[in-house]
Chains A and B, each alone.
Chain A
Amino acid sequence: MADPSDAAGGRPAPSPGPAPAPPSTAAPPSTAARPVTVAGPSNGTPGSTTAGSPDAAPRRARIVLAEVSAPRPPADRTRTELTQQTPVGEALVRGLVRAQLALALRLSLVVAIGLGGLPLLFAVAPTVGEVTLFGVNLPWLLLGAGSFPFLVAVGWAYVHLAERNEQDFTDVVQRPEH
């Protein structure tokens, strides 16, 4: 969905600023592409390089076409549910948003406790501040050095888990059959 205008559903252009460029490679509509390639030889155009007996070709092609495209509609239906904002599609999106938000909130809670609790800890138990490690007071070590790897670790976990949520969503939408 690199071009926002196709999901915007005919809304006015997002801004008077620069319009987003279309994706660099045009996305081939995967469901439509397959029948066309198979249907090509079925027309039996003279001069085409396709081999085979001229009378057998049309019939065989049509059977293959039907078989290939048969399992596709359910997936398309889910897509349509999403883009047409049907209750089912709406519920799917709500589920994704909720999952991502819950993930973000859980990880912020980790940071809120892990880092946000420190001033309170130092304030309530001042002796913690006097503990020294390698000759350096603990608050200096925790804040000056330890907090940064901690933040990166939380960020790494988020990227990993958020991508998994999205993969789950993609799998539901692209599931071959119900």
Chain B
Amino acid sequence: MGNPFTIPTVVAVTLITVAIGFYGLRLARTTSDFLVASRMVSPTWNAAAIGGEYLSAASFLGIAGLVLKDGVDVLWYPVGFAAGYLALLLFVAAPLRRSGAFTLPDFCELRLGSRRLRKLATLFVIFIGWLYLVPQLQGAGLTLTTVAGAPYELGAFLVGAVVTANVALGGMRAVTFVQAFQYWLKLTALAVPVIFLVLQWQHDGRPPVTPPDGTAFRVATTVVVEHPATLTLADGTIREVRPGEELTFAAGEPVPRVAGVPSANGLDWLLPSAAGRDDQGLFATYSLILATFLGTMGLPHVLVRFYTNPDGAAARRTTLVVLALVGAFYLLPTLYGVLGRIYTPELLLTGQTDAVVVLLPSAALGPGLTGQLLAALVAAGAFAAFLSTSSGLLTSVAGVVSTDLLGRGSVRDFRLATLLAGLVPVVLALRASELDVSQVVGLAFAVAASSFCPLLVLGIWWRGLTDLGAAAGILVGGGAAALAVLLTVVGPPLDGWPAVLVAQPAAWTVPLAFTVMVAVSMATRHRTPADVGATMLRLHAPEALRL
């Protein structure tokens, strides 16, 4: 990849991020400034910051990669990532802001008055935060490898170090400006190249996305094998390949199928999974919908932002703007996945489908200046995605660690906590380069949906919730989801229904968490907090009353 623009652009994005961080640092003075940006953030900035923080490596790279590989069924990822904000808006946004809770553990203590529950919630915040941070760093490593040939470890370590330093020095105020800037950068980085890509596609005579005789190479392509694999060639012959081997395909030759890599071909890719033929696919789809719709409200870095709204009504309006901003963004990755089917089919062979967004501009537009500039822009956007999501996650994990595990949440504690919280995911990312970016993020959503979603929804709308009920629900539902994550990541490969139930656990863990939470709360009715009436008034009464 001899693109002279990529490295300077990535460096520039990183420097701008750090520079805005230091600009914010001059303004941040007290602990309160550090953690909640003094609540002086305007709704527009806040919404852009939430969007910037939310659109992670999974959104920027992962969705397009999945679309390239699996087709229409994975469009539920972007839909669910956006719809999560609707669920947040409907059930959580305004009451959570009025509660005055800054983090999920805060909410537990406020609503149920239990220190032990607070500790449990802290553990889950840290688990979800780390689970979400690892794929961000992985994405960084992958991108740097793809665009610059740098070793994977360098990219992961670089992003980890920059983010840790920036959060430790600037705190959330800095992060707010950074995040808002990152949203617009990410949107531009996908929107501008896609215009050129679609024009190129028109210019090429609109080649079909799903040609009748299978996906084929448009130009003569040489693929260097990285992992041993079994290929099924177009004429039906089976061939074993070893790392280092070079495969050359002529233009127009069909793409061979790789054993073990689920890349839907032709109609499977184009059409949704059907009942009877694919019940497991249908279950996985609904599980994914449940996880993403309900998981967003349980993500620690999303909730922190609601405290920066001045009141409940502003929190609602901010969420609506976020929904619109995020929805606008998610129109784009699908196009990359679809066009990748035409211009970068070799990724189906290598399995590195997450790289499609980064590779597509130069693959479609050729090695000219336009292609290089657009490739550099996309790489910059990808780096913005890693930097912003990791910053937000790290801020919230560090905030929880500093207030709940280290002490009183002083600026010093916060900085120490940031170092601790940043170190673990960097180490994990360095050791786990093989995990699928989007899948890990999906699992983080499943854990959040099975632990914090029931806690928030029942805590806000149901007077009968008790501390024991909440703890039992989080432990059973969230625990089951976390177990499924561990099984997926380190467990043995599974087949059939067990594989689906473990890989997409939300459809059974979310109802389980709700049921346990309600049942145990009803069994321990005497533990209902005495001040539940006052809490309800505070969560739901409009601020205009000034009660």
Flag B278-301 by CB within 8 Å of A: 1 or 0 each: 100010011001000000000000
Which of B78-86, B367-375, B419-427, B498-506 lies at the interface with chain A? B78-86
Report the nearest B residue to A93, measured CB to CB: B537
Q: Is B266 an interface residue (CB 8 A)?
A: no
Chain B positions within 8 Å of A148 at CB level: 79, 82, 327-328, 330-331
Q: Are B547 and A139 in contact (CB under 8 A)?
A: no
Chain A positions within 8 Å of B35 at CB level: 17-18
Flag A89-106 by CB within 8 Å of B: 1 or 0 each: 110011011001100100
Q: Are A163 and B82 in contact (CB under 8 A)?
A: no
A101–B457 CA distance with the chains assembled, in angstroms:
10
Flag B524-542 by CB within 8 Å of A: 1 or 0 each: 0000000101101110111
Q: Given A1-B545, A18-B409, A156-B320, A119–B272 Cβ distance below 8 Å?
A: yes
Chain B positions within 8 Å of A97 at CB level: 461, 536, 540
Q: Is A70 an interface residue (CB 8 A)?
A: no
Q: Given A27-B546, A170-B545, A162–B94 Cβ distance below 8 Å?
A: yes
Q: Are B545 and A123 in contact (CB under 8 A)?
A: no
Q: Are B320 and A82 in contact (CB under 8 A)?
A: no
For window 137-159 of A, CB contacts with B under 8 Å fall at 137, 139-140, 143-145, 147-149, 151-152, 154-156, 158-159
Chain A positions within 8 Å of B319 at CB level: 155
Q: Are A14 and B110 in contact (CB under 8 A)?
A: yes
Q: Are B547 and A93 in contact (CB under 8 A)?
A: no
Q: Is B109 an interface residue (CB 8 A)?
A: yes
Q: Are B91 and A151 in contact (CB under 8 A)?
A: no
Which of A40-48, A58-66, A124-132 lies at the interface with chain B? A124-132
Q: How far is the CB of B397 from chain A (nearest CB, A)?
A: 14
Q: How far is the CB of B30 from chain A (nearest CB, A)?
A: 8
Chain A positions within 8 Å of B98 at CB level: 1, 4
Q: Are A163 and B461 in contact (CB under 8 A)?
A: no
Chain B positions within 8 Å of A126 at CB level: 271-272, 274
Q: Are A4 and B538 in contact (CB under 8 A)?
A: yes
Q: Are B316 and A1 in contact (CB under 8 A)?
A: no
Q: Given A1-B546, A152-B320, A158-B89, A9–B409 Cβ distance below 8 Å?
A: no
Q: Are A111 and B83 in contact (CB under 8 A)?
A: yes
Q: How many B residues, CB 8 Å from partner?
A: 76
Q: Are A123 and B409 in contact (CB under 8 A)?
A: no
For window 62-115 of A, CB contacts with B under 8 Å fall at 79, 82-83, 85, 89-90, 93-94, 96-97, 100-101, 104, 107-108, 111, 115
Task: Identify B89's interface contact among A83, A147, A155, CB under 8 A.
Answer: A155
Task: Identify A173's interface contact among B275, B328, B545, CB under 8 A.
Answer: B545
Q: Is B399 an interface residue (CB 8 A)?
A: yes
Chain B positions within 8 Å of A16 at CB level: 403-404, 408-409
Q: Is B154 an interface residue (CB 8 A)?
A: no
Q: Is A51 an interface residue (CB 8 A)?
A: no
Q: Are B36 and A18 in contact (CB under 8 A)?
A: yes
Task: Identify A17's interface contact among B90, B102, B543, B547, CB under 8 A.
Answer: B102
A-B contact pairs, 16 of them (CB 8 A): A18-B32, A79-B545, A82-B537, A82-B541, A83-B547, A119-B273, A119-B285, A123-B273, A140-B72, A144-B334, A148-B79, A151-B82, A155-B85, A155-B89, A163-B316, A169-B541
Query: Knowing that A104-B91, A152-B323 are A-B contacts, what are 9 other residue pairs whose CB atoms are under 8 Å apart, sorted by A's residue number?
Result: A16-B409, A18-B102, A83-B537, A85-B537, A93-B533, A139-B272, A140-B72, A143-B79, A149-B327
Which residues of A are at the interface with B, using a C-beta cutoff of 8 A? 1-2, 4, 6-9, 11, 14-21, 27, 79, 82-83, 85, 89-90, 93-94, 96-97, 100-101, 104, 107-108, 111, 115-116, 119-120, 122-124, 126, 129-130, 137, 139-140, 143-145, 147-149, 151-152, 154-156, 158-159, 162-163, 166-167, 169-170, 173-174
